[in-house]
């Protein structure tokens, strides 16, 4: 694990509180009281100070939750949690229950964080989980964080990358049904996704990433035995184009083999064609070490790789490992960008 030194300014990371009825407030408090995380970055929470105080009480932790007017006023000290307080949640908001109020608040936290990042006031965004049903109940009909951030930053197309210590996976399609995903996949989208993943790895310090591209069908179609030629029609043209440009791209590969090979280190990145093809193997590796990275934005964004976990919210048992790792990766990428600039 790489620690950032204090010989250079620590990157400022906006930490959005996510759905206040879920475990977001708890994992944020636990992570920001972790001395390791404090060595990565200068975090500023965009959320509700009162809810973070409630979360600290639930956890039995002593946290100095301080409301600040802006990033410049956020002083970094052990035990201190700086919050740009939007004050959107009622004091009696139940833990673990779907709430349109909490869904709207999660939307607003992210909107403010995106504005700060676009202005350059923060160098990265790290998000606690939101609840899609609560978001929709509040009238914000977006599939999730990835699409919301694309909307807030004016970007037409971004990609979701999942990162674990052993494996990185980028997705061609994400929050749509399987039939719709197969229909949406086409060579241009596959090519752009691979390019985004390649660029992200190069920026993170992998100069010549080796990338494996999954097929759609079992055995990647096995030369037309399975499916209707989707690999040849939708994937091969993109792979051939990028290989001709000099990229180290392999595929289409049978997904079961591709993830096995990636897990043992043969590939720096796997390109998954649809949501569960990529998410399943990553989550088997362990949610506590997984990080969600949005690739293609004009700002850096990482996230925990778990949901709001309503079933354990407010019980003081939520683990913060994924949040600490998300902060680390946000800071690492932001520091690389700062050094280039």
Give me the pLDDT at residue 288, please: 58
Give me the pLDDT at residue 253, please: 96
Give the model's confidence band at 175: pLDDT under 50 very low, under 70 low, under 90 confident, else very high: confident
Checking if the pLDDT of 337 tops 60, the result is no
Give me the pLDDT at residue 62, please: 95
Give me the pLDDT at residue 4, please: 42
Checking if the pLDDT of 290 tops 90, the result is no
Nearest to 149 by CA among 119, 121, 179, 115: 115
Instruction: Please write the tens of the pLDDT for every residue from 62-102.
Output: 999 999 999 999 999 999 999 999 999 999 999 999 999 99
Percentage of the chain beyond pLDDT 70 is 95
Checking if the pLDDT of 103 tops 70, the result is yes
247 vs 250: CA distance, rounded Å: 9
Complete DSSP assignment for 108-165: HHHHHHHHHHHHTSSSEEEE----HHHHHHTT---SSHHHHHHHHHT-S--EEEEE-S
Domains of the chain: 1-157+296-341 (3.40.718.10), 165-285 (3.40.718.10)
Checking if the pLDDT of 226 tops 80, the result is yes
Instruction: Please write the tens of the pLDDT for every residue from 133-147.
Output: 999 999 999 988 888
Mean pLDDT of 189-207: 91
Q: HEC string of 223-284?
A: CCCCCCCHHHHHHHHHHHHHHHCCCEEEEEECHHHHHHHHHCCCCCEEEECCHHHHHHHHHH
Checking if the pLDDT of 3 tops 50, the result is no
Q: What rounded mean pLDDT belongs to the chain? A: 91
**Comparing 105-109, 110-114, 291-295, which segment has the lowest mean pLDDT?**
291-295
pTM over 0.85: no
Mean pLDDT of 241-267: 94
């Amino acid at each position: 694990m790489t620690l950032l030194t204090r010989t250079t300014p620590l990157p400022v990371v906006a930490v959005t509180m996510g759905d206040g009825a879920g475990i977001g407030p708890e994992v944020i408090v636990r992570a920001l009281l972790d001395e390791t995380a404090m060595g990565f970055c200068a975090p500023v929470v965009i959320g509700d100070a009162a809810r973070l105080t409630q979360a600290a009480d639930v956890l039995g932790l002593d946290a100095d939750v301080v409301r600040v007017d802006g990033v410049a006023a956020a002083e970094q000290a052990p035990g201190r949690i700086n919050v740009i307080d939007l004050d959107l949640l009622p004091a009696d908001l139940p833990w673990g229950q779907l709430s349109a109020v909490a869904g709207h608040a999660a939307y607003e936290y992210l909107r403010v964080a995106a504005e700060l990042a676009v202005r350059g006031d923060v160098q990265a965004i790290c998000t606690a989980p939101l609840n899609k049903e609560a978001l929709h109940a509040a009238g914000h009909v977006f599939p999730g964080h990835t699409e919301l951030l694309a909307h807030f930053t004016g970007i037409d197309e971004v990609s979701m990358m999942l990162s674990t210590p052993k494996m990185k996976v980028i997705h061609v399609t994400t929050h749509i049904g399987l039939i719709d995903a197969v229909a949406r996949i086409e060579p241009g989208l596959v090519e752009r996704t691979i390019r985004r993943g390649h660029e992200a790895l190069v920026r993170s310090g992998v100069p010549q990433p080796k990338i494996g591209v999954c097929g759609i069908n079992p055995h990647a179609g096995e030369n037309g035995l399975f499916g209707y030629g989707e690999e040849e029609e939708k994937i091969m043209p993109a792979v051939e184009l990028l290989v001709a440009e000099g990229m180290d791209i392999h595929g289409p590969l049978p997904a079961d083999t591709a993830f096995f090979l990636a897990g043992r280190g043969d590939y720096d990145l796997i390109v998954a064609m649809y949501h569960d093809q990529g998410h399943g193997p990553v989550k088997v590796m362990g949610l506590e070490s997984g990080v969600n990275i949005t690739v293609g934005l004009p700002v850096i964004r990482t996230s925990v790789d778990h949901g709001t976990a309503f079933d354990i919210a407010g019980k003081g048992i939520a683990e913060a490992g994924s949040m600490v790792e998300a902060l680390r990766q946000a800071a690492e990428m932001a520091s690389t960008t700062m050094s280039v600039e």
